[in-house]
Structure formats: C-alpha cells, structure tokens
Structure 1
Amino acid sequence: MSATTRLAALLPGVGVLRGYERSWLRPDLVAGLTVGAMLIPQSMAYAELAGMPPEYGFYAVVAPLVIYAVVGTSRHLGVGPEPGTAILAATGVGALAAGDGSRYVTLMAALALLVGALGVLGAAARLGFIASVLSKPVLVGYITGVGLTLLSSQISAFTGAPIAADRFFPRVAELAREVGAVDPVTLGLGGATLALIMVVRWRSPAVPGSLIGVAAATLLVWALPGAEPVVAVVGDIPEGLPTPALPHVTLDDFVALLPVAAGILLVGFTDNVLTARSIAARHGYRIDPNQELLALGLTNLGAGVSQGFPVSSSASRTAVPAALGSRTQLVSLVAAALVVATLVVLSPVLGQIPRTALAAVIIAAALSIIDVPGYRSLWRVSRQEALLAAVAALGVIVFDVLVGVLVAVTLSVLVALGRIARPHDAVLGDLPGLDGWVEVDAYPEATAEPGLLVYRFDAPLFFLNADRFRARVEEVLESNPGREEWLVLDFEGIGSLDATALDALADFVERLQHLGLHRVSVARAHVDVVRRLRAAELLEPEGALHSYPTINAAVRAYRER
C-alpha cells in the first residue's frame, strides 16, 4: 500500500474535501451555521450537566469538530457534547473529586484523554465490532433511562427548588416534599423556553430551536427592570479559548477512571456508529466502524487537551445537516468557526443566559431520546425484549448511568448466550415441487422418508448447548412416529464445534447406535466442521459418523442401502 493510499485511509475526510464541488458550498455553509447555532446553547447546557462551568462546553467542542472533519467517515455526524456522555462522566468523576472544583475540572480532562487513548488502542486492535455489543432492546432501555435521569437532574435548575438527591426516584420524592419552594418565575420562564423549543422543533426541525428559546429567555430577563436578574443566570464567561495543556493527575487517578472511560467509550461508540450508519445508508456512502473508533478516540484526545470533557455525538445535530442537503464534513469546520467567534465576541452576553433556559435545553434533549416508539415496536415483536428494555432503563435510573451501562452490557451478553444455548431447531421433510428440504412445522404437507429422520440445529455447537442438542435429538426421535433406521443431522447452521461438543457428539453417536440406529450422518457441514470431525476421528473410516455434501445425497444413500 502506497503512502498516499495509507494517508487517504487514515484521513478519509481529507479525501472527501479534496474532491469538493462548488455546488456543495451553499448547503454545507447553511448546515454548518445551523449546527453551530445549535451547539451554542447545547454546549453550555451539557457542560453544566457534566458538572462543569458553561464555558467548558465550548472547550470540549471546537477541537473535536475539526478533528472529526478530517478523520471521520461520516459526512454528517454531529460530534461534540452529548447528554448521556456528560452525565456518565459526571457520575464517575464526582466521586473522585470529592467536592474539589479544581480537581473536578482536571479529572474531566483526564477522563477525556483516557477515553481517547482507549479509542485509539481499540482501533489499532481492530475492535470496531464492539459497536454490536449492545442489542436494540438494551439500547432502547439504556437511552430511555438516560433520558429520565436527565429530566430529574434538571428539577432544581428548572423550578428553583433546592433538590439535593442524586437519583431519579429520590429527586422526584424530594420535589414532592419541597413543592412549596418552587419559584414561580423560574418555573414560568423555564416552561416558556421549553415550550418554544418544542414548538420550533415540531414545526421546523432544521431551525435551531434551542438557540431561539435561550435567546428569547435571555432578552426577556435583560428587558425586565431591576438591578439584578429576576432568576439565576450563568455568570461571567471567560473570553477566548484555553491554552492546550495536559491535566496534572496521577497514575492512580487514571486507574480509578478506567471503568468510567470504558463505559463512555462503549456507549458513545455504539451510538456514533448506529447514528452514522442510519444517515449514511440514506445518502449512499458507507461507514467504517474501525475508523469511527479511531475518530472517537482522537476527538476525545482533542477535547482532553483543550481542557474539556468526554464527547460523542448528537442524533439531532446529525439529522439537521442531512435534512438541509449538506454533502461534506465542511459542516463541522463551519460550526467550529461559529462557536469560536461566539465565545470570543459574545462572552458577556452568554453570561446573562438564565440557568432555567439551559435546563429547558437539556429537558428538550431528554424528551427527544426517551424512546416510546422503540418500546412499542419491541412490544409488537417480542414482549420478552420489551421487558429486557425496561430492565435496562431501571438499571440506569435506580442505580446510576455507569451501573446502567454494565447492566446493559451484561443483559446483551446473557440474551445472546441464551439464544445460542437454546437455538431454533427443526425436523425437515421433503416437499414435492421444491428443490430442497423444509421444516415440517412450517410446511405440514412435507413428507418424511419412512425410517429416516432429518434434523437441523441452528447454532454453533459448543459447551453451552451440547446437552441441549443431545436432549432435543432424543426428544425428536422419541416423538417421531415409526422406527428410525438412519438419522441425518443437517449441519448447515452449525458453523463451528468446540472440544466439549466433539466429546459430547462422540458419546451421543455411540448411544444412538445402541438404541438401534443403523447410521448417523451429517450433511452440508462446513469445511472447518468437517476438519474438526476428522481430527476427532468421528468420521468414517475411523469413526461412526458418515458425511454427505447435501441432504439429498444422504437420502439417496439411504434409499440405495
């Protein structure tokens, strides 16, 4: 591979921009300005959600936008601060900082660097497949749990009531007790801001409703008479961007942050790939998961060096440029330029934003990610999976987001293992007019060959399901009418065998022969399965198993016996 080809593979965004066409400029500029306008209030709101001063949201977004435009494979993905990642980071860092604000900020930057390092190492190890670790039910439940946690986290800022609890149910209970402490002005302004954001989102999804709502609330507070604002405001925002620097933390701090970083990487990467793929499929290009893992790592390294906090991506900031017809990653560069200009020029104005308006931004984001349609879809398809999603959501809101991630991953693995341990199986029959054997349960008119039983097991055969395989074959032999002389095992669905399965198969074949079967055969076995059967001396002439390339070949041998 030439140096140019390797560089193009490492920097796919550069390749797209090198082939830039003039006709793409207008939609890219419009989309970039729109995404930048969305980022201004969102960055501040999500920084506060992460427990950081609002300006750190800007610090966390500029470098990632520029880096992703060069390294990412999606032409639309809206990288930057995201509520789920922010609250997950806050959960992990809060316990370590122990109330020390300066240490909290330092640990957040260190966490972003650690997420970045894990992402780069994962990409080097070709671990892009981890995007498939979380199943749809678990993702629906996790995202819903995060949305409910976000809602509860904003009770105090949105209502003005003093809420000290740090979990969903205790927060709701405390609000019920402290309802008399709700400030009507704070609640009214927050409610009006939220209503405006939701109306704009409903009527014109491509318009930055969060910016409009926050701007309207700020103007209203500024216009009211009085020396002091009638509600709590953000306060002073430093001008300009911070000097790039590495946080001063110890090795013990990195070790303590490692589980949090791994959880953020898993959730952020899964969400990034799913979001990017959904948009790419509609616009005719492909996403490279390993390159996306590298991009997530590098964007977080950029956020950490810029004294920011961990970032991933936003579905809304991804959908908007696609809806506006953008074609390239120039959108991210334009958005970054607008954010920098805002921070440099409008810092005094940003400091006058009401905190309840930023809470409204977060609540709007939370409402958008609570996946009620996802639950309805799961309920129609599988009530078991809908229940799994509900359990994942409870894991997030009852404990915390990090525990919720662990619960989600564990549930995904258990569900996968459960399906492999008890896979689909079937007795097959011959259906006249079709070139092949079909399941007799699906096609009752299919006929069986007298004295011959054809059975299929649809999973790799290994230690977890070897006993299940043996039990199911015995059940089928016992329930099948007539006396079988031959058993043909359709191995097309058995892609691999482990040592435990080989030993179990050897014992089982011997037992079947003692039960009176004249021959046990395998049909349509993969090359690797045949090789393992031969290595274990299970195939003739060393063993008792016979192998046929097709079911029909085994049936012909039976008829000619």
Structure 2
Amino acid sequence: MRLVPPGVDALRGYRRAWLPKDLVAGAVLTALLVPQGMAYAQLAGLPSITGLYTSITCLLAYAVFGPSRILVLGPDSSLGPMIFATIAPLVVAGSDPDRAVALASTLALLVGVVMVVAGWAGLGFVADLLSKPTMIGYLNGLALTIIVGQLPKLFGFSVDADGLLQEIAAFVRGVADGETVPAALAVGVGGIVVVLALQRWWPKVPAVLVMVVLAIAFSALLDLEERGVSLVGVLPQGFPPLTLPDIGWSDLAPLAGGAVAIALVALADTMSTASAFAERTGQEVHGNQEMIGIGTANLAAGLFQGFPVSTSGSRTAVAERAGARTQLTGVTGAALIIVMIVFLPGLFRDLPQAALAAVVITAALSLADVRSVVRLWRQRRVECTLSLVAFAGVALLGVLPGIGIAVALSILNVFRHAWRPYSTTLGLAEGVPGFHDVRSYPAARRLPGLVIYRFDAPLLFANAKTFRDEVVGLARTVPSPGWVVVAAEPITDVDTTAAEMLFDLDRLLDERGQTLVLAELKDPVRRKVERYGLTREIEPRHFFPTVEAAVDAWRAETGANWADAP
C-alpha cells in the first residue's frame, strides 16, 4: 500500500497545459453538481444544503486520496434510498432535520471506516459479491422505488407512506382527492421532457443545468409560489464547521448494518465505473486504493454534516467530455460551490421542488435497464430469474433487504454452479488434436474398457456426492470399464470432505475390480492430495501427468484400440 497519497503524486507530475482544461471542466461540472446534490439530499430525506456540503468535502478528499485522475464522487441516486431507509426509523416522530443530518453524517463516517479498513486489508474483491444479473435487478427495483417516491413531489403534494405499495396507494389517493398542483406538475413533467430530449439529441449540452435555469426563470416570471408551487428557497449561508455527529450509542448498531450495505454498493459501482473509464484513458484500476479514496471521501463528508457518497458515472462522463485531465476538475467544482453558498445563497431560491423531483426521476430512469433483463431471458433463464427476484426484493421489501437479497442470490448462484457443475466424458475426435467432450463431438471414438471423465469445478463438500454418483454410474455401465480416468485439470481444489469421498470411491472401485485414475492434477492440488494421504491409498502409478499418458498406459496394458462411438 502506498504511503504517499495519490493526489500528491499527481500534483508532482501536473502539466501546465492541463490547467485551462481542468478549470473549464470544473465549471461545467459544477452546473451538474449543484442541482443533483440538492436533489439527492432530499432523496435521502435530508435538507438540500447537505447535498452541497457533501459534494464539496468528498471532492476535495478524493482529490488527495483517490487514485483515479478522472472519477467524480458525490451524492448518488442509488445510495439515496439506502440512506433514507437506514436513518428514517431512527429519526424521532415529527421529522427532526438536525437529528437526520447527525445520523446521516454518522452513517458516512461508518461507511468511511469500513471502506478504509477494507482497503488497507486488501478486500477490494468483495465487490464481486454482487453479480451482474442481481445488480441489474437491484438497480431496476431501485429505479422503480425512486420514481414512485418522487411522484407526489412531481405533482406538488406529499404523502406519508412506507413501502412501494403503500406509496402507490397514497399517491393515487392524493391525485383522486385533488391535491395535485397543476403548475408544479407542468414544471416537473416539462423538466423531465427537457432533460430526456437534450440527453437524446444533444448529449454534449448540460441537460440538467438547462432545465434548472428554465425552471428558475419560469418560476420567477410567473410567480409560481403564488400558484402553490413549493420552492427551494434561500439556502443557509456559509460552510459548516468541523462537527462530530451527536447521536446515542443505541443508534450505532442499526447504522452499522446500513453502512456495510452502502459500502458494498458504492464499491461495486465505483469499480465498474473506474474500469470503464480506465479502459478509455489507458489507466490502471487500483481496487484497494479506490476503497481508501472513497472511504476518505466519506469520512470527510461525515465530519462536515454530509452523508455517504459514491462514484457517479454521469458526472464523470460530463467531466471527461468537458476535457478534464486530473482531479483539479473536482477541486474547481468544490471551490465554485463554496463561493455560491458563501456569497450567493439565494441563487436557487426560485427553483421549484418539482424540478428537483424531475432531476431525481431522470437519474432513476438511467439506473433502469430493462433491455438487459430481456437479453438475460433470451440468453440464460436462470440468471434472468435471479435478476427478477432481486428486483422484487427491492421493490416489495425495501432497499436494504433488497441489497441483502441481491448479495445472497449472487452467493447462492456461485454455490449452485459449484454444487452442480458441468461434467462429461471425453473421446478422440476426428481431425481435432486431444480429447474432447462427447456431447460436442458425438462421433468421437472411445477406447474399450476406458472412460475419461471430466468434472469442471473444485471438488468440495457441496459437490463431492455428485462427483461420486457420476463416477459410480460410469463404472456400472455395460460393458463395465476397467479404468475410470478423471481428467482433473479443471479441478482447482480438493477439500477434506472430497478427499474422504475419493478414499471411499477408490475402495469401492477396487472391490469391483476397477481402477480410479487421476490425470493432470495441478501442482497445488497434487500437494493437497499428498497431504491428505491419497497417494498412499491410490497407487502412485495411477497418477498421470496428462490424459494422453493415462490413455497410452491403458493401451500398453490391454492392447486396446480406438473404436467408433456406440
């Protein structure tokens, strides 16, 4: 692990020619950071200003400790519902903003600690706990949850409901009871149309900024507040001091569970985004250092009344298109936000809340990926089912249970592959060197009295019985083989349960006058087999370096010749 922060290394190698591009990209990025930061703060159940505090601190911290030159961190639409789901049960009745901020800041600190410790421990691989199909299902469920939660604000009213079905019912009742504010609905729907249209036909134009400017202009010109439209109002002036959140010890346990889930999602999101942009810029991805960079950013956010953050693919893309070369782009964005909240706190006074709802809804639409679900259905029905179950878990049970279900499904999917791996017998295919799967080459020739069996997985407690049953089944075929050769190259491990199974299997075949032969064992696996004592139970002459060597030995012993497939 490096001792010098990556930001210091980047500063030493900084080129003067990069400065104008970083400054311009930072200014462009700010136009996206401000409205999204405010909108995602409200998505997390927090005051709008906390989104700006969070954006500033995480950008500055990541610029020092983050390894990527271009990634942009900040409040994220995928984390907002998770933050809300974690802190909402702990906020006292009547909605206490100060306590909500304290809880969210503590949550950011816990996420930061988890990420930094995991980074120092080299645990970057934990991002793999979320498979692509379950992540697709999770994000689709999250998108639906976000959109449904923002619909009342889009229509100009609020509801008091918990859970997707209850929120849908409360929204429908509100519309039926005439609570809709037409002017707010016009602003919200118009904002969604503007953002989607610009993203579709003019992707280089900062769509969110254009929509926000238009919304503010219409609000001021038409005096929308008098028409019942709720506005953002004047933001608190100045930057918050270094603050340790004031919460009770009893709050830590429920916050810790949410912190682990948020850290997992943030890491998975960051690694996928970092990999995508690294390929385009020729950089390498340093998973453990990324964890430390994100963790430090969360620690900084938590100490200045912020909330957990992650990498944003959309904001990173904006920075890249604007010409960003280094993290000075993020520093510039943070500096401009500070100038705004210190000297221009009323800049977004006339911004309708419905416009912020439009920002969140368009972000949620970008999370949804129905096309991938359809592709999974065509390509692999089992993984499509996993995706749909993860979607249902998020939508019906909530965000935090949903992420738990997504992780559990990913792990169970791995277990399923290990439990029932692919296995086959091999034969000699015409015109193709080596031995091949008889399912792919049905006409492959076989040697009388010999079966070559391949098991494509580590031999573990979960699949030891499957392996045994299949080998015994091959041994009982008619005519019965003299040797059962295990092509063991795909077997990357043998645990103690599997070793005991091999002991028993070898004895069983011996009693039948048959022989268990192992070929192509990898060296690490061979050493384990020797440690278990298998080389004393199975005769050393029945271990072969290659399948070809085992076949040659059988032919030398029996004089068998290749025969056509039965």
| TM-score in same-fold range (> 0.5) | yes
Alignment of 1:261-276 (within 5 A): 261-276=259-274
In the superposition, relative to structure 1, how do residues 442 and 13 fare at CA in structure 2: closer, same or farther (>3 Å)? farther
User: Is 2:511 aligned against 1:514?
Assistant: yes
**Is 2:555 aligned against 1:559?**
yes
Task: Note if 1:6 corresponds to 2:37.
Answer: no
SS at match of 2:67: coil
Letter matched to residue 337 of structure 1: A
Which of 473, 486, 492 is the aligned partner of 1:495? 492
1:77 Cα deviation from its structure 2 partner: 1.6
Partners in 2 of 1:458 and 1:327 — Cα distance? 45
Provide the C-alpha distance between the structure 2 equivalents of 1:554 and 1:183, rounded to a whole number of angstroms: 80
- Aligned AA for 2:54? A
CA distance change for structure 1 residues 182 and 476 in 2, over 3 Å: closer, same or farther? farther
User: 2:39 is matched with which residue: 31, 35, 45?
Assistant: 45
Is the 1:522–1:545 contact (alpha carbons within 8 Å) kept by the matching residues of 2?
no
Of 26-35 and 438-447, the range deviating more from structure 2? 26-35
> What secondary structure does 1:438 align onto?
strand
User: In the alignment, which residue of structure 1 is the partner of 2:252?
Assistant: 254
| Structure 1, 41-50 or 470-479: larger mean CA deviation | 470-479
- Indicate which of 58, 64, 68 corresponds to 2:58: 64
CA shift for structure 1 position 286: 1.0
Q: CA deviation at 1:391?
A: 0.9
Sort the Cα spacing of 1:203 and 1:17 in 2 relative to 1 into closer, same or farther, 3 A: farther
1:74 to 53, 68, 76: 68
> Where in structure 2 are the equivalents of 1:122-201 lying within 5 Å?
122-179=118-175, 180-201=178-199
TM-align CA RMSD: 1.9
Q: How many Å separate the matches in 1 of 2:445 and 2:325? A: 57
Task: Name the counterpart of 1:546.
Answer: 542
**Structure 2 Cα separation of the partners of residues 334 and 488 of structure 1:** 66
Given the superposition, is the C-alpha separation of residues 534 and 462 from structure 1 closer, same or farther in structure 2, using an over 3 Å criterion? same
- Deviation digits for residues 503-535 of structure 1, max 9, x if unmatched? 111111111222331x21111101222122222
Cα drift, residue 544 of structure 1: 7.6
Deviation at 1:210, TM superposition (A): 1.3
Q: Is this contact kept in 2: 1:86–1:311, CA < 8 A?
A: no
Distance change in 2, residues 1:307/1:162 (3 Å): closer
2:85 equivalent to 1:91 = yes
Q: 2:471, 2:484 within 8 Å by CA — same for their partners in 1?
A: no
Deviation at 1:25, TM superposition (A): 3.2
1:31 corresponds, among 18, 25, 31, to 25
CA contact (8 A) 1:491 1:524 kept: yes
Cα distance change on mapping 1:22 and 1:476 into 2, 3 Å:
farther
Report if the CA contact (8 A) 1:44-1:54 is conserved.
Answer: yes
User: Distance in 2 between the 1:120 and 1:541 partners?
Assistant: 48
Residue of 498, 501, 504 corresponding to 1:504: 501
- Which stretch of structure 1 is more off in the superposition, 135-144 or 207-216? 207-216
Report deviation, 1:542.
6.5
- For the 8 Å contact 1:76–1:319, the answer to whether it is kept is no
Native 8 Å contact 1:91 1:401 kept in 2: yes
Aligned ranges 1:445-484 → 2 under 5 Å: 445-478=443-476, 482-484=479-481
Contact 1:33 1:335 in 2 (8 A): yes
2-side partners of 1:226 and 1:253: how far apart? 41
Is structure 2 residue 376 aligned with structure 1 residue 382? Answer: no
Cα displacement (A) at 1:340 = 1.6
In 1, Cα distance between equivalents of 2:133 and 2:345: 43
Residue deviations 1:373-403 (CA, integer Å, cap 9, x gap): 2212222221221121111011111111101
Q: Write the deviation string for residues 163-185 of structure 1: whole angstroms up to 9, x where unpaired.
A: 22222222222222332321211
Query: Match for 1:313: what amino acid?
Result: T
2:219 aligns with one of 214, 221, 242 = 221
Give 1:368's aligned residue: 366
Q: Distance in 2 between matches of 1:222 and 1:345?
A: 21
Q: Is the 8 A contact 2:124 2:291 kept in 1?
A: yes
Deviation by residue 1:68-104 (Cα, 9 ceiling, x = unmatched): 1222222222200001212101111110112333211
Conserved in 2, the CA contact under 8 Å of 1:222 and 1:229?
no
Maintained 8 Å contact 1:509/1:544: no
Further displaced range: 224-233 or 27-36: 224-233
CA distance in 1, matches of 2:144, 2:314: 18
> Structure 1: which amino acid aligns with 2:304?
S
Q: Please give the per-residue CA displacement for 1:16-59, whole angstroms capped at 9, x wherever unaligned.
A: 33222334334333322222110110000001111111101011
2:225, 2:269 → 1: CA distance?
Answer: 45
In 2, Cα distance between equivalents of 1:161 and 1:176: 12
Retained in 1: the 8 A contact 2:503–2:537?
no
Structure 2 counterpart of 1:142, one-letter code? Y
SS in 2 for 1:181: coil
In structure 2, runs of 5+ residues without a counterpart are 558-566
Q: Does 1:408 align with 2:402?
A: no
What is the match of residue 561 of structure 2? none
Q: 1:33 to 1:148 in 2, by over 3 A?
A: same
Partner Cα separation in structure 2 for residue 118 and residue 238 of structure 1: 31
Q: Cα distance 1:29–1:376, how it changes in 2: closer, same or farther (>3 A)?
A: farther
- Shift of residue 540 of structure 1? 4.6
Worse overlay, 377-386 or 146-155: 377-386
Q: TM-score, normalised by structure 1?
A: 0.95
Q: CA deviation at 1:225?
A: 4.6
User: Normalization by structure 2: what TM-score?
Assistant: 0.94
Query: Could you give the per-residue CA deviations for residues 119-159 of structure 1, whole angstroms, max 9, x where no partner exists?
Result: 11111211110011100011001111111111011122100
How many equivalent pairs are there?
553
Within 2, Cα distance between the matches of 1:90 and 1:228? 31
Query: 1:367 deviation in Å?
Result: 0.8
Deviation at 1:229, TM superposition (A): 6.1
Give, as a single letter, the amino acid of the residue that structure 2 aligns with 1:493: P
Q: Map residues 298-447 of structure 1 onto 2, 5 A cutoff.
A: 298-447=296-445
Deviations 1:298-353 (A, max 9, x none): 11000000111111121111222233443322221122122222222321122321
Q: Comparing 225-234 with 197-206, which one deviates more in the overlay?
A: 225-234
Question: Partner amino acid for 2:86?
Answer: G
Q: Which runs of 5+ in 1 are unaligned?
A: none
Distance 2:430 2:383 in 1: 38
Provide the secondary structure at the position in 2 that maps to 1:235.
coil
Secondary structure of the 1:6 match is coil
2:92 and 2:247 map into 1 onto residues whose CA distance is 15
